[in-house]
């Protein structure tokens, strides 16, 4: 693994904290039955996790979702992990599936499976990143301080579909 500069280490900490917060927020939205909001949060969490792994490996991903999705596919193949390989593809149909659930044409099991797969992919991705074996991330105060130092959100926002 390449040596990270202090700036990149700070960015990695920020990406990890934001990604895990978005993932937790997605879980909260699920409990409230807000599937579409959950989808947005999952996109952001997954995107930041992929960007974090790339950064930890000294690779800067181009702007736009295509580069992020391609890198996720590459990582999934490298680690033989179906969840990482298929995470973005599953999220791409999440909204349609949520609409079918809302119209009561299908049960929510499909959404729960996608949620479990994407959550597993995010966790596995962070395990791949430098410091991924740490059980506890930075405190909220540390994350807030890093966001203030760097001006807030990472380049390209939280990674919605470009």
Does any domain span residue 97? yes
Does any domain span residue 155? no
d(C-alpha 80, C-alpha 43), whole Å? 21
Q: pLDDT by residue (tens digit) across 49-98?
A: 999 999 999 998 987 899 999 999 999 999 999 999 999 999 999 988 88
d(C-alpha 131, C-alpha 154), whole Å? 19
Does any domain span residue 83? yes
CB 25 within 8 A of CB 158: no
Residue 19 predicted with pLDDT over 80: yes
Does any domain span residue 33? yes
Q: What's the CATH number where 143 sits? A: 1.20.120.330
The total domain count for the chain is 1
Which residues lie closer than 8 Å to 46 by C-beta, 6 or more apart?
A: 19, 72, 87, 88, 91, 118, 121, 122, 125, 159
pTM, two decimal places: 0.77
């Amino acid at each position: 693994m390449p040596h990270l500069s202090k700036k990149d280490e700070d960015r990695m900490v920020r990406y990890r904290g934001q990604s895990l917060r978005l993932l937790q927020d997605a879980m909260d939205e699920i409990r409230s039955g807000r599937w579409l909001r959950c989808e947005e949060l999952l996109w952001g969490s997954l995107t930041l996790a992929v960007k974090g792994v790339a950064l930890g490996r000294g690779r800067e991903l181009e702007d736009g979702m295509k580069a992020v999705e391609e890198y996720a596919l590459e990582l999934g193949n490298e680690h033989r992990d179906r969840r990482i390989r298929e995470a973005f593809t599953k999220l791409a149909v999440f909204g349609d599936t949520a609409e079918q659930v809302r119209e009561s044409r299908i049960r929510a099991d499909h959404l729960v499976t996608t949620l479990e797969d994407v959550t597993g992919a995010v966790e596995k991705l962070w395990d791949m990143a430098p410091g991924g074996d740490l059980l506890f991330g930075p405190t909220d105060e540390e994350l807030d301080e890093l966001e203030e130092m760097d001006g807030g959100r990472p380049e390209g926002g939280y990674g919605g579909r470009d």
